[in-house]
Structure 1
């Protein structure tokens, strides 16, 4: 059986060098190239035809998300493994939708990365345990939210505050948009958070994405 041909795409040279050093210690893996940007990742993939592309998400000129879409459109036989520092579920789902087969966090140990590369090469999905836990927690939250529907218990004003807060609007900005006083906006926000069982902005954003109230940007 031939070696697994890997292309490393990351905009930090020191990161690429570290990954290359790790992978070259293993006889079943061959690093065939490197890319320092999203555009370069596409070009190198089409030229070298690796088995697996290790894809960072935040890169200059073109995000790993957009590069993954382009690679899967032009070279569908190439499997993409996201290797990133982003542990928010919106990034995971966006990469999965773009065509990535695996998602590994940069904080993961060497054995986890190696296992991910081998699994993705076999056409199997691979997720970092932390990402898996995040998805399970989100699923359980969705189940708890169904009966009764917490969202439906919100007033129309509270739903507006939820959407605007998830979009990053400040209390003052929401007050201007809704023609309310900042104090009234805070009252609606507190009531909305209590009804939904949310405790901070991160949970609020995740809830809004799950409900389809806001969209995830490519970069």
Structure 2
């Protein structure tokens, strides 16, 4: 079983400790010492090498978005999932634009948090379905001019997988639609992300929509 190292960054001690205790019961998650501020988060990221960082955006007087920027700059391979009480869509879009691959409200269940952590660790992500369309629209709108040429290096099969991602399918559903194994879908996904220089499925979907891809259903 692949074990995922997780760093929680939150200055609300009771919440963070309760979350760490609950996630620590998951056999595939290794919960690292909690960081209450950006300095501690960067120090632990450097020494403990988390795969996923679960980040609150309100860290006292410190901006979680600034912490996100510093983590992404120094440790670009770390996957950042935002877990916050903030609900402003503009902030969500900023976080995704700055490299977050997941966004969860603090009222969500620990089971969902664990699932999103696993997805993030495997190059996936998660945005609440009720706002995903608007987030993608804003990201596409903000991204600038056409990018169709950036898809030119994809094979026909990789384009099919990317279209399935735009359609909102998960890996198992893509495998079923295309008649492939889940491992083959994983390989195609990793290859297309590398070719597009993207770090998450959400980034790839945004680029695909800039290039003109739309949900097929």
> Structure 1 length normalisation: TM-score?
0.59
State the secondary structure of the residue aligned to 1:68. Answer: helix
Cα drift, residue 43 of structure 1: 1.7
Match of 1:81, SS? strand
Q: Cα deviation per residue 1:158-211 (whole Å; 9 max; x = unaligned)?
A: xxxxxxxxxxxxxxxxxxxxxxxxxxxxxxxxxxxxxxxxxxxxxxxxxxxxxx
Q: Which residue of 2 aligns with 1:29?
A: 29
Find the counterpart in structure 1 of residue 76 from structure 2: 76
Give the Cα separation in 2 of the matches to 1:36 and 1:26: 22
Q: Give runs of aligned pairs for residues 77-96 of structure 1, distance below 5 A.
A: 77-96=77-96
Contact 1:52 1:121 (C-alpha < 8 Å) held by counterparts? yes
Encode CA deviations 1:48-81: one digit per residue, 9 max, x unaligned.
1100000000113532111111111111111000
| Deviation (angstroms), 1:21 | 1.3
Distance in 1 of aligned mates of 2:130 and 2:55:
18
Kindly indicate whether the alpha-carbon contact (under 8 Å) linking 2:10 and 2:16 is maintained by their aligned counterparts in 1: yes
Is the alpha carbon distance of 1:131 and 1:25 closer, same or farther for their aligned partners in structure 2, counting shifts above 3 Å?
A: farther
Gaps of 5+ in 1: 144-219
Is the counterpart of residue 42 in structure 1 residue 27 in structure 2? Answer: no
Which 4+ runs in 1 deviate beyond 3 A?
133-136
Is the contact between residue 19 and residue 110 of structure 2 (CA under 8 Å) also seen in structure 1? no
Unaligned runs of 5+ in 2: 142-217
Assess if the C-alpha contact under 8 Å between 2:80 and 2:102 holds in 1.
yes
Aligned to 1:58: 58
Name the SS of the counterpart of 1:99 in structure 2.
Answer: coil
SS at match of 1:22: helix
**What are the residue-to-residue correspondences of 1:1-219 with 2, within 5 Å?**
1-132=1-132, 135=135, 139=137
CA distance in structure 2 between the aligned counterparts of 1:110 and 1:131, rounded to whole angstroms: 20
Measured in 2, the distance between the counterparts of 1:10 and 1:134 equals 27
Give the structure with higher Rg (CA).
1
Contact 2:93 2:135 in 1 (8 A): no
Q: In 1, distance between residues paired with 2:75 and 2:44?
A: 11
Report if the CA contact (8 A) 1:87-1:131 is conserved.
no
Note the C-alpha offset of 1:110: 2.0
Contact 1:37 1:61 in 2 (8 A): no
When the two chains are superposed, the root-mean-square deviation of aligned CA atoms in Å is 2.2
Q: Please report how far the alpha carbon of residue 97 of structure 1 lies from its aligned counterpart in structure 2 after TM superposition.
A: 1.6
Query: Offset of 1:42 from its aligned partner?
Result: 1.6
Q: TM-score, normalised by structure 2?
A: 0.59
